[in-house]
Amino acid sequence: MDLLEAHGQALRAFGDAVHAAGAAEWGHRTPCPEWTVRDLVNHLVAEQLWAPSLLAGATLDDVGDRFDGDVLGPDPVSAWDAAAEAAREAFLDDGVLERAVHLSFGLVPAREYAWQMTIDAAVHAWDLATALGLPCPVTSDLAERLLDVVRPWVDEWQGLGIFDPPVAVSRDAGATARLVALLGRQPR
């Protein structure tokens, strides 16, 4: 599975869970202890809002605080749809993956940024589905591909507040369980 296919699948997985959220569920707690469903969706929407500007060459200072705070407004589902569509289109632009992107930790290849965004969307799709009591929307194929990508980064991400330390799972755990456990979640 290539990067853009994985990215599309991760966005769809998260989007499917967003669309399944009922009106009474936006205050539910998620596996991310500090976030409710609304907080988690707000986080992912804000990330997607950043992508078009960063991929076009903007710096963090250029974007400023434009996407701080509540970016969902009164219709979180529509906010997700619009942000995800804009981010997806930005990642699909010809040659964009050959560029460099300004992130908080420096200038990085756009491909690395795209993998980070893909991993984040997939793992948070699991978080959101778990909070809503839904089946896992992350396919085994996507999880296997993301495991290959994320393994080399896990150690350097420790202590940065990106993910909790890995959780042990049985040898026969499925790919999605291994992925979320590697990134600090207790598989269900």
Residue 1 and residue 145 in contact, taking contact as beta carbons nearer than 8 Å = yes
Name the helix (H) or strand (E) containing 102: strand 100-103
Q: What is the amino acid identity at position 30?
A: T
Residue 182: predicted pLDDT: 84
Longest CA pairwise span in the chain (Å): 47
Contact 76, 44 (CB under 8 A): no
Q: Do 30 and 131 contact (CB within 8 A), yes or no?
A: yes
Radius of gyration of the chain (CA): 16
| Cα angle 122, 96, 123; round to 5 | 5
pTM assigned to the model: 0.93
Q: Which residues pair with 100 in a beta bridge?
A: 109
- pLDDT at position 122: 97
Q: What is the pLDDT of residue 171?
A: 87
How much is the pLDDT for 31?
93
Predicted pLDDT of residue 157:
61
CATH of 3-135, one of 3.40.30.10, 3.90.1150.10, 3.40.50.1360, 1.20.120.450: 1.20.120.450
Q: Which residues in the chain land under pLDDT 50?
A: none
pLDDT of residue 104: 85
pLDDT of residue 153: 74
pLDDT at position 132 is: 97
Residue 100 confidence (pLDDT): 95
For residue 31, give the DSSP letter. S
